[in-house]
Amino acid sequence: MQDRNKLILAGFWEGNRDQAPYADDSFEVWGLNHLHPYIPRWSRWFDFHRPEWSAANLKPEVWADQDAFLRKNHGKPIYMLEARPEYPCVRPYPIDEVVRGLGRRYFTNGLAYMVALALLEGRFAEIQVWGADMRHSEEYAIQRPCFEYWLGRCEGAGIKVVIPPSAALLSAERAYGYEDEGGMVGEALRAHREVLAKALAMKDQAVSQAQTYDGVIQTEQEWIRRWEQRSRGGIL
């Protein structure tokens, strides 16, 4: 087996998870949580949920499978928050060593822990990220910047970082200030802005008409009051 100086970080997102080059033996494969039924091989595993939390929050069948996975002796390391005697391959994630070596305690998700450890070890010339997108949900709004920070640290250290074009990580539709709004995004923006402008104009017209009607209503109500008063013998 050749020296594995490249790394696949595998996540759950189905958009490109199955397209990773798992068959290329120059890659180590690092996975996490309950991903093992969905990828063909792995070199190291990570699960940053305490078993008590997983047992209470995962579907019973998912937790049963994960618990069985953790209890097996795979002969490969599984990183968790702490060692567990019932899980023979589990070892504590070296959080203190990572923080001392890299100078930053900034971790909002499991993938961030994984890429930070890869950066600390300094063995990889290339890191590819598959099965991670993080463009949706409030949770990802917190997780994505952290993961992108550590990927940027890797690039700064001279590691080649590969993100599939289908993923949102380390990408934007356009460069702020340098690119016109073009393509599908530009067309969509122009269409929605046109509809918005028409809606605002119609609203202004409706408000103006409503104000006119309010004036008519107030005038007629006053005349009705006076004529009712006259009908009762009063003076207009």
pLDDT tens digit string along 48-79?
Answer: 999 999 999 999 999 999 999 999 999 999 99
State the average pLDDT over residues 147-172: 93
| CA–CA–CA angle 4, 155, 93 (5° rounding) | 60
Nearest Cα to Cα of residue 44 among 29, 33, 25: 29
State the pLDDT at residue 210. 84
Highest mean pLDDT among 83-87, 174-178, 198-202: 83-87
> Which one-letter amino acid corresponds to residue 15?
G
Looking at the chain, the whole-number percentage of residues with pLDDT higher than 70 is: 91
pLDDT tens for 29-48 read 999 999 999 999 999 999 99
Does the pLDDT of residue 84 top 60, yes or no?
A: yes
- Across the range 160-179, mean pLDDT stands at 82
pLDDT on residue 186: 73
User: Which residues 6+ apart lie within 8 Å of 171 measured at CB?
Assistant: 163, 165
pLDDT at 182: 60
- Burial of residue 124, with CB atoms counted within 10 A of its CB: 0-12 exposed, 13-18 middle, 19 or more buried: buried
Contacts of 1 (CB under 8 A, 6+ apart): 25
Q: Between these two residues, 32 and 139, which has the higher pLDDT value?
A: 32
Cβ-based burial of 225 (10 A; exposed 0-12, middle 13-18, buried ≥19): exposed
